[in-house]
């Protein structure tokens, strides 16, 4: 057999997604007929609302099945601008400042290729979504991880931001509410970060994919609302996947200065071209349709949040704060590290997650994947019954640890 031709060297710096790895192991167990409860994947368990599905059916029946403009149809980009104006009062965007892509992850990838040069430094608060640093590395830039603490609610402080900035800083990636912690920044906290950013010249990329999933009356604000004077340096990443239960439809977008939008359209024209024509019309139906189904989902998530956080805190050796948004609990399992279970010592959060998968048949993602060892991300995008059953299983498995 001839020698294998090597793949690109750039891939050596990239790690596979840990969330996908956990989901894959859970699927393997399920294929063996084992009952596994998955709290690992970040997608709503609800069906896409009926009026959105109907919008897609009408699109098919009307023959809307051909290529569209690379950056999305005018109709969808106008709907995005209108929806953004409602969510972010006083801030307006033109359709030419919108690029629709194949999900928010694709949007972030386009931005990585369009904005980062080799040697640039990109600031990323930890815990972070697993793809942020890997996309930075693929673009040849360097992710600079800014540590946060559980005591601060996993929110980056102005002091930490200031200390991380160097002449090589090209961008800050901020996610509020956060994946994996559910932590969200108040207007005052965003203003303090904006004041530091204003002293320098770099992009502020804000992932607001969970921005409409907040609870207990939390006043969700975008940094562009509290610091409108920085609008020409702020790029908003958003989409329909989480709020509208449309993960599989793959529609995300950016709101950015027009020259950035044009640059990213150029990249997209040489990769995916346009997102699905049918999915785009479904997204229009989502953005222009009734809000009641989404509010019902949000209320269900809020109720589940209480169940899972209270249940985790009732398990000896696990503690968990109350997240402001998204649908994740970020559980501290440091007290379980060093214990004996499954015939071995649990030396890391990865071991704890593996033990709970094998012993409790509950799939969760280790915090190490998010730059936060000692924690587990537990998705509560699951029914109340499944959450309660999972908590029972986890409690029994933890009780067996020596």
Q: Domain-by-domain residue ranges, the chain?
A: 9-47+293-399, 64-288
> In this structure, what DSSP letter does residue 342 have?
T
Task: Categorise residue 103: left if φ over 0, alpha if ψ from -120 to 50, beta otherwise.
Answer: left
Give me the half-sphere count of Cα atoms (radius 13 Å) on the Cβ side of residue 103. Answer: 12
pLDDT at residue 336, rounded to an integer: 98
> In this structure, what DSSP letter does residue 214 have?
B
Residue 1 has pLDDT above 90, yes or no: no
Least confident segment among 118-127, 172-181, 346-355: 346-355
DSSP letters along 5-16, please? PP--GGGGG-PP
Helix (H) / strand (E) element for 21: namely helix 18-31
> Which has more confidence, 29 or 97?
97
| CA–CA separation, 111 and 132 (whole Å) | 11
Local confidence band at 375 (pLDDT 50, 70, 90 cut-offs)? very high
What is the average pLDDT across 15-21? 65
pTM of the model: 0.96
> Which has more confidence, 354 or 293?
293
Residue 22 has pLDDT above 90, yes or no: no
**Token duo for residue 77:** 């980009």
pLDDT at residue 14, rounded to an integer: 84
**Token duo for residue 128:** 């972070």
pLDDT in tens, 304-333: 999 999 999 999 999 999 999 999 999 999
pLDDT in tens, 26-54: 788 889 999 999 998 889 999 999 999 99
Please name which of 337, 364, 331 lies closest in space to residue 351, comparing C-alpha atoms: 337
Q: List 237's β-bridge partners, or say none.
A: 207, 254
CATH class of 9-47+293-399: alpha beta
Local confidence band at 288 (pLDDT 50, 70, 90 cut-offs)? very high
pLDDT at residue 19, rounded to an integer: 59
Topology (CATH) of 64-288:
3.40.640
pLDDT in tens, 164-193: 999 999 999 999 999 999 999 999 999 999
pLDDT at residue 387, rounded to an integer: 98
Query: What SS3 class is residue 299?
Result: helix
Mean pLDDT for all residues in the chain: 96
Please name which of 98, 110, 109, 108 lies closest in space to residue 283, comparing C-alpha atoms: 98
Local confidence band at 13 (pLDDT 50, 70, 90 cut-offs)? confident
Local confidence band at 3 (pLDDT 50, 70, 90 cut-offs)? confident
Please name which of 339, 374, 335, 379 lies closest in space to residue 355, comparing C-alpha atoms: 339
């Amino acid at each position: 057999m001839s020698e294998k031709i090597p793949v690109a060297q750039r891939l050596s710096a990239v790690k596979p997604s840990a969330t996908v790895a956990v989901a894959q192991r859970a699927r393997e167990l399920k294929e063996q007929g084992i009952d596994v409860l998955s709290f690992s994947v970040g997608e709503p368990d609800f069906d896409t609302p009926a009026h959105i599905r109907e919008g897609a059916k009408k699109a098919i029946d009307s023959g809307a099945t051909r290529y569209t403009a690379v950056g999305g149809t005018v109709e969808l980009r106008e709907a995005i601008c209108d929806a953004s104006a409602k969510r972010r009062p006083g801030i307006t965007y033109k359709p030419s400042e919108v690029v629709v892509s194949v999900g928010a992850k694709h949007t972030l990838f386009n931005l990585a290729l369009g904005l980062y040069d080799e040697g640039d430094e990109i600031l990323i608060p930890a815990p972070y979504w697993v793809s942020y640093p890997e996309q930075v590395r693929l673009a040849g830039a360097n992710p600079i991880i800014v540590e946060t603490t559980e005591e601060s609610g996993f929110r980056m402080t102005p002091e930490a931001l200031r200390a991380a900035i160097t002449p090589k800083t090209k961008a800050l990636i901020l996610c509020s509410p956060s994946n994996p912690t559910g932590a969200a920044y108040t207007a005052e906290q965003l203003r303090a970060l904006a004041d530091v950013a204003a002293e320098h010249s770099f992009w502020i990329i804000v992932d607001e994919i969970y921005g409409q999933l907040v609870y207990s009356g939390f006043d969700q604000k975008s940094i562009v609302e509290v610091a409108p004077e920085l609008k020409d340096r702020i790029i908003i990443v958003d989409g329909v996947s989480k709020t509208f239960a449309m993960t599989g439809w793959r529609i995300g977008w950016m709101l950015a200065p027009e020259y950035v939008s044009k640059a990213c359209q150029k990249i997209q024209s040489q990769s995916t071209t346009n997102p699905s024509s049918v999915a785009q019309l479904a997204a229009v139906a989502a953005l222009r349709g009734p809000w009641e189904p989404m509010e019902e989902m949000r209320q269900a998530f809020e109720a589940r949040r209480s169940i899972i956080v209270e249940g985790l805190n009732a398990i000896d050796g696990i503690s968990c704060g109350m997240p402001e948004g998204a649908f994740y609990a970020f559980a501290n399992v440091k007290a379980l590290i060093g214990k004996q279970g499954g015939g071995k010592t649990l030396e890391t959060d990865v071991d704890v997650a593996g033990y709970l998968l094998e012993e409790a048949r509950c799939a969760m993602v280790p915090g190490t994947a998010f730059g936060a060892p000692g924690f587990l991300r537990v998705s509560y995008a699951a029914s109340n019954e499944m959450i309660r059953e999972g908590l029972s299983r986890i409690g029994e498995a933890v009780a067996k640890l020596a």
